Structure 1
Amino acid sequence: MDIAGHLKAIHREVSRLPSTSGETVAVRLRRSYDAEVADVWDAITDPARIARWLMPISGDLRLGGTFQLEGNAGGDILECSPPSAFKVTFGGPTSIVSVRLLEDGPDTTVLELEHTVPIEIAGSGAGSLYVGPGWDGVVMALARHLHNEFDGDPLAFGATAEGQEFSRQSVHAWAAVARESGTATEAEVDAAVEAAMGQFAPDTPTTPRG
C-alpha cells in the first residue's frame, strides 16, 4: 500500500468553534475519490458494502433511526439527504459527525467529513488526535474499497505492520495540524500524541522516522 500517498491525499483541519451550547472542537477531513457520487454514497450507506471495507453495521438505517458499528460507536441518524449528505451522533449525543459528498467532474467525488465535540470532552484542539487518525483510516479504507484493493477482513488490517505504520504517520500528521492551528499548547499536543499512539499504533515507535 502507498502509505505516503494515502496520507497526502487527506486534507486535515482542526478548529475551535462557538456553538449554542458552548465551544466545540471541530475535526475536518477532505479527500477525493475516482468514483461517481452515487457509487461513493452507496459504499458509505449500504450495510453490505460497509461491512466489506469498514466493519459490520446494524440498526434502523433511515432518517430518525439508529445505527451501531459492531464493536465500535453507534448513534442516531439526524439528517439524511441522498446521495449527498448525512449527519449522525457518534458515540454520544454531543459527538456529531457530518458527511457531505460533492461532485468534482463526471468521475470524481470529494468527501468532506466533520466531527465536532464539546471543548469539555476534547480538552483542546489536541483532542483531534483521539479521533483524527481513526477517520484517516476510514477514508483510506474507503479508497481501497472503491479501487478493489481490499482482500479479507478489513478489521485485521489495523493490526498488520502496514496498518500500524499508517496509523503512526497519521498520528504525527494530526499532531502537526493541531500545532499549526493554535488550538492547543505544545504540552497538550505531546500528551495527545503519546495517548494516540497507544490507541492507534501501539506496536510502533512514538517518534517520527526520517
Structure 2
Amino acid sequence: MSIDIDPVATAGLVTREVRSGERDGTPTKIAVARRSYTAARGDVWAAVTDPERIPRWFMPISGDLAEGGRYQLEGNAGGTVERCQAPEAFAVTWEFGGGVSWVTVTLHPFDGGTMLQLVHESPVEPEFWEQFGPGAVGVGWDMSLMGLGLHLGSGESMDPAQAEAWSVSAEGKAFVGAAAAGWAEAAVADGDDATDAHAAAERTVAFYTTVPEA
C-alpha cells in the first residue's frame, strides 16, 4: 500500500485534546485523539479488533482479544482487555517498559461514516512530560490513525519497511511536525506554558524523525 497523502492536511484530520486527571490518587495526563472515517462503524470495528486485520495497518498481535483476555503487540505493548462492547468501544491496559497506562477506543456513527475517539491515560512523569509533552504518545497514535485510514480506503496492508522509510522522508517529517504542533497546542489549552510546550514538540519531532545509528 503506497502512502500518497498530503501530510499536513492528513495530520489536520485529527482533533486533539489534553486533560489532566487522576487515577487511584496518582496524577495522570490524558491524550484524546478523534478522527472521522467514511467507512461504516462495523468495518472500522473489524479493522481495530480483528487479529487478521490489525497487522495490516498497525502491527502483529497475538493473544485472546476478548474481555478479560491478554494481548501482545509484537515488539511493543501488551496488556489486558478490560472491556469490549462491539461495535461501540473497547478498553485495554497498555503495559510497556515496566509501566502501565490505559487506552479506550470508542466508535460513533458520524456524518454517514464513523468517528473514532482514542483516549490514552498515563501516569505523569514530570521530567518526561517536560521533555516531550503529549506528543510522545500522541504522534504515535496519529501515525496509527493515518495507517488505519489508508487501510480502510484501500483494504490493503501497510508494508512496515515502507512505513518506516516514509516516517523519515520529507513528507513524514511534515506529518510529524504538524501532529506534534497540534499536541503542543492541546497541552497549552490544558494549562502548559506555550514556549515549553512547543519546545517539547520539537524534541518529539526529532525523536520520531531521526534515523537510528547503525
TM-score by length of 2: 0.83
CA root-mean-square deviation: 2.3
1:126 and 1:188 in contact (8 A); partners too = no
Identity %: 38
Structure 1's unaligned 5+ residue stretches are 204-210
Deviation at 1:44, TM superposition (A): 0.4
Name 1:185's counterpart in structure 2: 193
2:133 to 124, 127, 132: 127
1:115 to 112, 117, 120: 120
Name 2:203's counterpart in structure 1: 195
The equivalences for 1:13-32 within 5 A come to: 13-32=17-36
Distance 1:156 1:101 in 2: 28
The equivalences for 1:7-156 within 5 A come to: 7-92=11-96, 94-105=100-111, 107-120=112-125, 123=129, 127-148=133-154, 152-154=158-160, 156=162
Structure number with the higher strand fraction is 2
1:164 to 162, 167, 173: 173
Deviation at 1:126, TM superposition (A): 5.6
Name 2:183's counterpart in structure 1: 174
Distance 2:86 2:67 in 1: 11
> Runs of 4+ in structure 1 displaced over 6 angstroms?
none
Deviation at 1:200, TM superposition (A): 1.1
77 and 112 in structure 1: CA distance in 2 versus 1, 3 angstrom threshold: same
- Any idea what SS the aligned residue of 1:35 has? coil
Opposite residue 30 of structure 1, the aligned amino acid is R
Distance 1:163 1:52 in 2: 19
2:57 and 2:148 in contact (8 A); partners too = yes
144 and 51 in structure 1: CA distance in 2 versus 1, 3 angstrom threshold: same
Opposite residue 164 of structure 2, the aligned amino acid is G
76 and 155 in structure 1: CA distance in 2 versus 1, 3 angstrom threshold: farther
For the pair 1:6 / 2:10, whether they are aligned, the reply is yes
